[in-house]
Amino acid sequence: MGIPTETVYGLAADAENEAAVHRVFRAKGRPTDHPLIVHLATAEAVHDGWVAHFPESARRLADFAWPGPLTLLVPAGPRVGSWVTGGRNTVGLRVPAHPLTTEMLKLFGRGVAAPSANRFGHVSPTTVQHVLQDLGDRIDLILDGGACPVGVESTIVDCTVEPVQVLRPGAITPEQIAALLGEVGGATGPSRASGMLDSHYAPHCAVLLFDTADAAQAHVADMHEQGARVHYFDAAADVVGAARDLYARLREADEDGADAVVVLLPPATGLGHAVRDRLFKAAAPRP
């Protein structure tokens, strides 16, 4: 089932039903050793068997940001199957803020495993139309919650280490986390959560990144002279709008048959960390 969240649309299955979760992996073409995030209706629900131990750092972050665009990597509890964690002893837990999905989770009374509702490695969906484009013939139902207001996936924080590590930046920023907890580390070690692969969120066309408007616009002009079809995306002028519109803009470029999207990067502060992360992965060499 496709579900709306404040970040992107998810592809949800009963997290405790191994067969249902494997349908999610098959629909997306996602490797089964790549862990999923479990979505819960309330922060209190994490203690109902979903976590073995909830570190103090996790409790403080949950109090600050849940419900909201934050995933906490914590020691997995007895209700968490290896089919969700990719065989690891940790699980990503999140309490989403979208009212439609919150109501669904309360009625369901259990956790759902829900990666983004798109083909693995490709551009994430922020509208029902995007979900239909990618998975329309592979899923049973989509809850239409309108366009996702945040537009980039949740921040993932590993709370099993000290200091905590930001594994994937999002709308809960490293600056906010540091203000709450003090020292915060960047991701180190192997991939252990969604969105940690080098290439991800990728359209079919090339993604070309620039730090200055002059360089970006000069490159657009050069490509036009060569007869290339180019889209230009200024992600620096309004970083909130850039995050909200990012995946739609990448999809539009593919739909238009563009050869490339030329992007002016936002500064590496606040939400800009998340936008830059998605763009660098979209621009990385494809596997």
- Bridge partners (DSSP) of residue 207 are 261
User: Could you check whether the bond before residue 78 is cis, i.e. omega within 30 degrees of 0?
Assistant: no
Q: What is the pLDDT of residue 191?
A: 62
Helix ranges (H only) for 11-98 are 18-28, 56-65, 82-85
- Output the pLDDT for position 114: 97
The DSSP line for 212-274 is SHHHHHHHHHHHHHTT--EEEEE-SS-HHHHHHHHHHHHHHHHHTT-SEEEEEPPPSSTTHHH
Element (H, E) at 279: helix 272-283
Largest CA distance in the chain: 61
Fold of 2-186: DHBP synthase (3.90.870)
Compute the average pLDDT of residues 109-118.
97
Residues counted in the chain: 287
Mean pLDDT, rounded, of the chain: 95
pLDDT attached to residue 125: 98
Q: What is the pLDDT of residues 44-80, one digit of tens each?
A: 999 999 999 999 999 999 999 999 999 999 999 999 9
What three-state secondary structure class fits 130?
helix
In angstroms, rounded to a whole number, what is the distance separating the alpha carbons of residues 222 and 38? 46
pLDDT for residue 254 is more than 70:
yes
Map residue 85 onto helix, strand or coil: helix
Outline which parts of the chain fall under CATH 3.90.870.10.
2-186
Distances in Å between the Cα of 151 and the Cα atoms of 2, 21, 35, 93, 184 are: 16, 24, 21, 19, 24
Task: Give the residues across from 263 on adjacent strands.
Answer: 209, 233
CATH of domain 206-283: 3.40.50.11030
Intra-chain end-to-end CA distance of the chain, in Å: 28
pLDDT surpassing 80 at residue 192: no
- Start and end residues for every CATH 3.40.50.11030 domain found in the chain: 206-283
Residue 197 has pLDDT above 80, yes or no: no
Kindly indicate the confidence band of residue 261, based on its pLDDT and cuts at 50, 70 and 90.
very high
